[in-house]
Structure 1
Amino acid sequence: MYKNALPFWKKFNDTELEQTKLNWQSFIKTIPDYPHGNYSGYGIVTSTSANSGYIGTFQRTLAQIKLLRWLNCQLPIEIYSFSDELNETEVFILETVSDVQVKFIDQVVDNESRNLSRYAIKPNAIIQSRFEHVLWLDSDNIPIKDPTYLFHTQHYKKSTAMFWPDFWIGSSMSPIWRVLDLECRQEDYEQESGQILIDKKKAWKPLNLAVHFNRDPVIQNIWLGDKDTFRLAWKVLKVPFHFVRKFLAIGGFLYTRIDRNGTRLPGINFCGHTMIQHDHKGDIIFLHSNAIKYNPNIKYPVELNSRISKPNPWKIYRRYSNTHAYFRPQVIQDSFAFCTYLPTGESGHYPPIFETDMHTLVSPNITEKYVEFGGLVLEERKRKPNETEIEVVDSI
């Protein structure tokens, strides 16, 4: 993943990196004490927009909160946006769902952060929310059960936060380790921040440091996003957290290609578009469908066995049979698809692949409801000359 980043990382000089280190070290001395009385209770926090350039974000958020209520989740929900990204009608539509409030990021934060990185909305929304205990969900994250129980697990209650793994481990070549004065441990996976569980009272200082990391231009240029700013803020301050150890799976479909003449080309491939995350016991809980939006013209077939009566992009569940510190999932991006897959081979670095029908593990009622609520939003575009088309297939 990081091969292409090496020339980019080398552009940072020693003076720049040292100043960035001094900046965060000075910042932690200014973090105020936890404001007792400002926060209380448990809730879900997410974000949305209608005109940020990300097609379908509003529709995905609406489908997500409707699905949560369909799953009988009673947690209050706060939805954050920058000040100019929702109109009154869109706010009204979101707030028709029970116990949902739409809020806007504070103007000072809005002006300081959004031009640097729109990911900065995440830690700022978590701090600004009225809840003491927060479950953050990205707008394209699909819960498959009521997630309330996560707050009551011993793994959360005895810690300060619960984080989930990404596909990747950090690169020892990254300048971030010099900036943060941390060791790059090859056994540590990076964090995937599509879902975060945080006790703000216990984690007040690292949460504020994560906000700073998302406002620092050098750190943002190294990281290109928010995802690992939380885990490393906790590590810098030596604050304990629970890290889900089960390696995530991939949800996707099998496909072949069709040329301009309508001829099916040889070969069946797997396209993964959803990061499947598990809870502390290893049970599936979240379908973080972060790549579906990058596959605009794929026509997903209706299930032939009629278990689901809507177009279904979630056909295959695939993961390695065990967790290993040297996995290297790969991403394929061409003009027509954005797919993640798990390499296989003779090497001991690649254990056997476990694969099954997605809906033997996740009820088809859940993904069908999500689609019914409008969560599957695809941006159509014209095919380029000589471009092949993807055809989703049911089997090899």
Structure 2
Amino acid sequence: MRSKLLQKLVRYRAKLAISIFVVAILAYTAFSSVLNYDLDAIVDDSFSTPLNGAQPASQKGETPGQNAANVYDSHLALVNQKEKSRRVHSFWDKVFTIFDENDVLYKGAPQHLVEYVGDKIEGTYIKEALLARGKMSDRVVAELKSRHEKVVKKLPDEIPEYTYDKGTKGVVFIGGDKFSWLTYLAILALRETGSKLPVEVVMPQRNDYERERSFCDRILPSLGAKCLVVPDILGISAEKEKSFFAYQFKSLALVVSSFENILLLDSDNIIISNPDVVFESELYKQYGMITWPDYWKRTISPRYYEIANIAVNEQKRVRINRFPLFEPSKSQNALRIDIGDASVPYHDLENAVPDLSTESGQLFINKGTHGKVILLSLYYNIYGPQLFYRLFSLGEQGEGDKDTFAAAAVALNQPYYQVNSYIQSHGYFDDEAKFQGVAMAQKHPVLDFDKFQNLIVRPFENSGKSIPIDEQVEKLNALAKESDENFGSANDVPIFTVHCNFPKLDPVFYMSRNDLYDSVANKLKRRLYSRMKYKKTKMEGAVFRNEEVDFEYEQWLHLQEALCVKKLEFVYFKYEDMDQLCSFIANQVTWLALDSS
């Protein structure tokens, strides 16, 4: 009897062991399926389907399986992150495919889509004069119009939220080599304004990041900044950016940034007023996009409006230069003009992109409201050198990306505000007493907008009567002059940024310029920034004080601190004699200190 009981117990234990072993095998198989999840099956074919962030049911009450659940959740998080990357890559692949399918250099296209002809006629910006500066055949215009229409139709109406972090705001620069050094100086200036905004520095290619690891991983984090690598974000679409150069990367930087609300700054642009307040302003909330003027009038070819299917009303003038005419009492007829009136610049007409041309060294833009503007401007920049840069500039100075953002906004009927205050130029007089500009000081957008509302908009709106057009024209022409105390370069609107575009804040380049560098005294021969000073709020203890700062002296102090005191390593200075460079910088700082007193 006892023997039979023992035999039954042994058989029971054997069955129990086999059962436990089978359960373990099944559990291991299920767990392995998570580890080996088929990521290739996760491809989103739509532009707008939100990411599925669903998680499995909680297993908190199951103590024996708690560790397995934690591991499961951890691996599922990795899978979801991989899924998000795949979805983002898939989205941008579709966008770039749309661009590829509508390449402006189509089969049978002429070598030059826009042919510059003749000399430009100074001061003449009527339709006929603009058309004469850049020739295009009707056949080419028709083909490009078809392609532009397909791009606008196929692009999504907005950039999906899973490609950026909704509700965020920050500052974006482009780095790499010399631009990493200049970006460092620009971030220092940003922090000295009191801004706490996060910063992203876009590295165009993987090898840019590999060469700049010290900059990205050591220098930037202490400044609240980090690097973004374009191929990591675009995936296979990054292959398209290999042919990009210079300012083309700015539109790409808007695309890859994780911020929803962006202040895009050129790396040689020194900000001297806290930008945080602009993001919170009614101006930014109302328009979602803020630009600044360049020196020149718009020279966008009328053929562009044909290509973009923008109906410019050639019988209605709506502005004088950069200021609007008004229509109190619905006086539409008072604003109509004769179609043959040769005195009306083309960009004063209804639906044309307003004067002045745009200077894109600084740009505020909201991805949530102006996502399609960003996408269309990217198309314009991809094919900029072949078509759009030439079509927008017609040989005028400053050819590049600058007008692509405003043109895209107008093409899509999206609002934007361009600062009305004229640029304040800083520079020096050379040996021949000729002024050489080195920097463009742009005015504060919010305070410019307030002045614009108080001096132009409200008086017209509150007049209660129809103001004769001749009277409006006379007043607005006066306001458009550079010397005007209200919107001219010397008005009372504070400076927002100082775009130090040529020569840049580069001590190596300074020493190579015989016209600037005194090799005997080992310093510059002259000041470069017109003795520019600005008001700066600084904290001393618990008290805020307004201090007048010498801009040029301040920049040289930053150079000395970074390169000669902290001895930070930048790829751009890798092969330079730093002792010689620091001797030059020290002499310059000493000289400017004496000259600033």
- TM-score relative to the length of structure 1: 0.70
User: What is the one-letter code of the residue matched to 2:529?
Assistant: K
The DSSP-based 3-state class of the residue aligned with 2:173 is strand
Match of 1:185 among 323, 344, 347: 347
1:154 to partner: Cα distance: 1.4
1:98 to partner: Cα distance: 2.5
User: Structure with the greater relative contact order (CA < 8 A, sep ≥ 6): 1 or 2?
Assistant: 1
Q: For this pair of structures, how many residues does the alignment match?
A: 318
Contact 2:148 2:307 in 1 (8 A): no
Corresponding position of 1:278: 443
Corresponding position of 2:45: none
1:227 aligns with 2:374: no
Corresponding position of 1:53: none
CA distance in 2 between counterparts of 1:48 and 1:121 reads 10
**Unaligned residue ranges in structure 1 (runs of 5+):** 51-55, 257-266, 302-308, 317-356, 381-393
After TM superposition, the structure 1 = structure 2 runs for residues 3-152 of structure 1, keeping only pairs within 5 Å, are 10=134, 12-32=136-156, 33-36=158-161, 38-40=164-166, 41-50=168-177, 56-83=178-205, 84-86=207-209, 87=211, 88-105=213-230, 106-152=234-280
1:289 to partner: Cα distance: 1.1
1:200 to partner: Cα distance: 1.0
Distance change in 2, residues 1:360/1:75 (3 Å): closer
User: What is the one-letter code of the residue matched to 1:76?
Assistant: P
Kindly, what percent of the aligned residue pairs are identical? 23
The DSSP-based 3-state class of the residue aligned with 2:182 is helix
User: What is the one-letter code of the residue matched to 1:85?
Assistant: D
Distance change in 2, residues 1:99/1:4 (3 Å): farther
User: What is the one-letter code of the residue matched to 2:214?
Assistant: T
CA distance in 1 between counterparts of 2:285 and 2:494 reads 19
Q: Max radius of gyration: which structure? A: 2
Contact 2:149 2:308 in 1 (8 A): no
Q: Which moved more, 1:20-29 or 1:240-249?
A: 20-29
The DSSP-based 3-state class of the residue aligned with 2:364 is strand
The DSSP-based 3-state class of the residue aligned with 2:247 is helix
User: What is the one-letter code of the residue matched to 1:27?
Assistant: V
1:291 aligns with 2:502: yes
Contact 1:94 1:102 in 2 (8 A): no
Contact 2:193 2:273 in 1 (8 A): yes
CA distance in 2 between counterparts of 1:151 and 1:14 reads 44
User: What is the one-letter code of the residue matched to 1:358?
Assistant: M
1:117 to partner: Cα distance: 4.1
Corresponding position of 1:205: 372
Contact 2:300 2:391 in 1 (8 A): no
1:358 aligns with 2:485: no
Contact 2:118 2:133 in 1 (8 A): no
Q: Deviations over 1:332-356 (max 9, x none)?
A: xxxxxxxxxxxxxxxxxxxxxxxxx
CA distance in 2 between counterparts of 1:4 and 1:144 reads 40
Corresponding position of 1:315: 529
The DSSP-based 3-state class of the residue aligned with 1:233 is helix
Distance change in 2, residues 1:20/1:373 (3 Å): farther
CA RMSD of aligned residues (A): 3.4
Contact 1:126 1:136 in 2 (8 A): yes
**Unaligned residue ranges in structure 2 (runs of 5+):** 1-116, 121-129, 313-345, 349-353, 393-398, 448-492, 537-547, 564-571, 577-594
CA distance in 2 between counterparts of 1:46 and 1:172 reads 27
Contact 1:9 1:174 in 2 (8 A): no
Corresponding position of 2:556: 371
User: What is the one-letter code of the residue matched to 1:219?
Assistant: F
CA distance in 1 between counterparts of 2:501 and 2:187 reads 17
Distance change in 2, residues 1:220/1:93 (3 Å): farther
The structure that is strand-richer by fraction is 1
The DSSP-based 3-state class of the residue aligned with 1:72 is coil
Contact 1:248 1:275 in 2 (8 A): yes
Distance change in 2, residues 1:102/1:313 (3 Å): farther
1:360 to partner: Cα distance: 5.9
CA distance in 1 between counterparts of 2:134 and 2:286 reads 40
The structure that is helix-richer by fraction is 2
Q: Which moved more, 1:361-370 or 1:57-66?
A: 361-370
Contact 2:534 2:550 in 1 (8 A): no
1:24 to partner: Cα distance: 2.1
CA distance in 2 between counterparts of 1:20 and 1:113 reads 22
CA distance in 2 between counterparts of 1:238 and 1:47 reads 28
User: What is the one-letter code of the residue matched to 2:557?
Assistant: E
User: What is the one-letter code of the residue matched to 2:175?
Assistant: T
- TM-score relative to the length of structure 2: 0.48
Contact 2:532 2:551 in 1 (8 A): no
The DSSP-based 3-state class of the residue aligned with 2:154 is coil
The DSSP-based 3-state class of the residue aligned with 1:164 is strand
